[in-house]
Amino acid sequence: MLIAIPDVLDAAALARVRGMIDAADWIDGNATSGEQSALAKRNEQLPEDSAAAREAGGAVLDALARSALFVAAALPLKVFPPLFNRYAGGQAFGTHVDNAIRIRRGSDFRIRADLSATLFLAEPDSYDGGELVVEDVFGEQRVKLPAGHMVLYPASSLHRVEPVTRGTRVASFFWIQSMVRDDGARRILFDLDRATQAVATDKGQGDPTTVQLTGVYHNLLRRWADA
């Protein structure tokens, strides 16, 4: 399931995050790469233990907590502290699959990476190339969203970042361990949640149909969730 989540960061929050990270010192992006990714990855990254990364990452986490669409789509159990990267001058990230387990350096924090997230921090007309290309059963999905918007996609999918040939692509990226491991089950729950909210808007929260659909949602979540 690939889902775009608009306006995770509003204009003010985006400006604050960019102010934090733009003035920081960046390093080679392979600092967090697995063996396979290191062969394909050419970009820069903020050190994950830097003050700028921690402060900007906290702002992203606060924004995610306020996003009902993110919570409904991801059903998050754990979120890896957001990281930040940038691409320029032909840099790219070739086709790869994200590591199944992500461990925060220097800590015992680890997650199973069910979902990957890219939060775009530069406007799409400020750089050429840089599309996130995700391969799924329907073919290649090419994603290049406005600044402040985010895309969620299965961490198990093949994906890449196309070369950036003009300007600079700046983004936050991270992984989510969902309460519901199976992508198909998450999709059913997401569709059911959206349908239930539509019925509630039309008929009211106390309508018997709304109550019944809400019960079905929570009983499926109870059956599938690992929390």
DSSP state of 49: T
Q: What is the pLDDT of residue 38?
A: 58
**Would you say 218 is a known binding-site residue?**
no
As a whole-number percent, the residues of the chain with pLDDT over 90 amount to 89
How many C-alpha atoms does 184 have within 13 Å on its Cβ side? 1
Domain ranges of the chain: 3-178, 183-224
Residue 138 has pLDDT above 90, yes or no: no
C-alpha distance across the termini of the chain, in Å:
21
Q: What is the mean pLDDT of residues 52-67?
A: 97
How many Å apart are CA 55 and CA 42, to the nearest integer?
25
Buried b (16+ CB within 10 A) or exposed e, 204-222: eeeeeebeebbeebeeebe
Whole-number pLDDT of residue 29? 79
Q: How far does CA 202 lie from the centroid of its chain? A: 31
Strands 101-103, 132-136: parallel, antiparallel or unpaired by DSSP? unpaired
User: Which of 32-46, 101-115, 141-155, 174-188 is least confident?
Assistant: 32-46
**Annotated binding-site residue? 159:** yes
pTM value > 0.85: yes
Q: So what's the pLDDT on residue 227? A: 83
CATH 1.10.530, domain 183-224, yes or no? no
So what's the pLDDT on residue 134?
A: 97
The mean per-residue pLDDT over the stretch 154-165 comes to 97
Query: Is it the case that residue 172 has pLDDT exceeding 80?
Result: yes
User: Could you say which architecture CATH assigns to the domain 3-178?
Assistant: Sandwich (2.60)
**96 DSSP β-pair partners:** 159
Q: Mean pLDDT over residues 118-123, rounded?
A: 98
Residue 195 pLDDT > 70 = yes
Q: According to the annotation, is 149 in a ligand binding site? A: no
Query: Is a pLDDT exceeding 60 seen at residue 173?
Result: yes
98 marked as binding residue: yes
Determine which helix (DSSP H) or strand (DSSP E) holds 32, and give its type and residue range: none
Angle 51-65/11-22 helices, nearest 10 degrees?
Answer: 160
Structural element, H or E, at residue 210: helix 208-224
pLDDT value, residue 106: 82
pLDDT by residue (tens digit) across 11-30?
Answer: 999 999 999 999 999 999 77
Q: Where are the beta strands (DSSP E) in 68-220?
A: 76-79, 83-88, 93-96, 101-103, 110-112, 115-120, 128-129, 132-136, 139-143, 150-154, 159-161, 164-166, 168-178
Q: What is the pLDDT of residue 31?
A: 63
